[in-house]
Amino acid sequence: MTAEYLLRRIGVFFLVIWGAATFNFVLPRIADVNPIEERMSQLASRGAVSSGNTEAMIKNFEKRFGLDQPLYEQYLRYLWNFARFDFGFSIAYFPTQVRSVIAQALPWTLVLVTISSLIYMVLGMALGALVAWPGASRLFKVLFPPIMALSSIPYYLVGIALVHFFAFQLEWFPLGGGYTVGTSPGWDTEFYLDATKHAILPALSIILVSIGFSAIGMRGMMVTTQGEDYMLLAEAKGARSWRLFAWYGVRNAMLPQITSFALALGHVVSGVILVEVVFGYPGIGSMLLQAIRNFDYTLLYGIVYLVILSIALATLILDLIYPRLDPRITYAPRS
């Protein structure tokens, strides 16, 4: 990996998050929306706000964002705040910081995304490899088309159907939520079991849909791998069939899947956000829905910025470790 590539890649990363932050700054100003006034009029129309509280909030916000200062100064201050993950106060949960509201929800989403991604990658790659392998059972070839058809449907639509059949009718799983209401999140086995039970259906709706996506890429790579010379040589040397499959085939076909995973990450996260909405899962997605319904602009901008940042960061990390995993890839300039 050359220093030039490294610098350019990190540059792109900062460009993306700078773009995301700037977008959040510019858009409300073009649209001429004042989030705080907007919110106040919303609350006032419901008669939900006492006047003393309102004035304190508006004053606090104006001071906080220096709304009386020139635009470039506001912008610089804004960027500086975002760089430190300081998104100000949540409008709906005043006086809680947006940062701490998000910190509550983030672990739920991170765990859900990570675990279901790992499971769907493993299952999808196994299925894709077996479909392309001539010696494998015909069962996989039969299984492949329905799973591919399923992959065209959005996660959360599958989630709705899963809720109906497995939670409402069969009552095997709880109806939504992240843990049983009334128990408080703690670090004991009982809570873990409870949380796992709540996470199975959301995870399943992500996994069922994504297997096909991961399998099709793997199948393509497996077919290519089978034509390679080292395959022929290994076969001629009398390597056993499973060794050919796992060591020569899967191992080489697996690594390029990392790239497609990195490209799909944004799509996966958008899907997970909507899955959370379906299940009322206490992660970023449900928080986003709350922010939209409450016109909580600061929380909303904070969530959007953080999601974009996390995905950009994950893509950056995957890009940087990829050549270490797969020695066939170099970022050295072709001479």
125 vs 303, beta carbon nearer other proteins: 303
> Rounded to the nearest whole angstrom, what is the least distance from the CB of residue 72 to other proteins in the complex?
21
3-class secondary structure per residue, the chain? CCHHHHHHHHHHHHHHHHHHHHHHHHHHHHCCCCHHHHHHHHHHHHCCCCHHHHHHHHHHHHHHHCCCCCHHHHHHHHHHHHHCCCCCECCCCCCCEHHHHHHHHHHHHHHHHHHHHHHHHHHHHHHHHHHHCCCCCHHHHHHHHHHHHHCCCCHHHHHHHHHHHHHHHCCCCCCCCCCCECECCCCCHHHHHHHHHHHHHHHHHHHHHHHHHHHHHHHHHHHHHHCCHHHHHHHHCCCCHHHHHHHHHHHHHHCCHHHHHHHHHHHHHHHHHHHHHHHCCCCHHHHHHHHHHCCCHHHHHHHHHHHHHHHHHHHHHHHHHHHHHCCCCCCCCCC
122 vs 263, beta carbon nearer other proteins: 263
> Rounded to the nearest whole angstrom, what is the least distance from the CB of residue 322 to other proteins in the complex?
14
> Rounded to the nearest whole angstrom, what is the least distance from the CB of residue 148 to other proteins in the complex?
7
> Rounded to the nearest whole angstrom, what is the least distance from the CB of residue 305 to other proteins in the complex?
9
> Rounded to the nearest whole angstrom, what is the least distance from the CB of residue 301 to other proteins in the complex?
7
> Rounded to the nearest whole angstrom, what is the least distance from the CB of residue 284 to other proteins in the complex?
10
57 vs 278, beta carbon nearer other proteins: 278
Q: Which of 280, 41, 331 is nearest to 176 (CA)?
A: 280
Please, are residues 213 and 264 in contact by the beta-carbon 8 Å criterion?
yes
31 vs 236, beta carbon nearer other proteins: 31
Which residues contribute to the site for other proteins (CB under 8 A)? 12, 15-16, 19-20, 23-24, 27-28, 31, 33, 38, 132, 148-149, 151-154, 156-157, 160-161, 163-164, 167-169, 175-176, 223, 262-263, 265-267, 269-270, 273-274, 277-278, 288-289, 292-293, 295, 297, 300-301, 304, 307-308, 311-312, 315
Please, are residues 62 and 74 in contact by the beta-carbon 8 Å criterion?
no
125 vs 268, beta carbon nearer other proteins: 268
53 vs 224, beta carbon nearer other proteins: 224
> Rounded to the nearest whole angstrom, what is the least distance from the CB of residue 52 to other proteins in the complex?
27
Here the tokens at position 304 are: 């959007």
Q: How far apart are CA 99 and CA 89, in angstroms?
A: 8
57 vs 303, beta carbon nearer other proteins: 303
130 vs 311, beta carbon nearer other proteins: 311
> Rounded to the nearest whole angstrom, what is the least distance from the CB of residue 33 to other proteins in the complex?
6
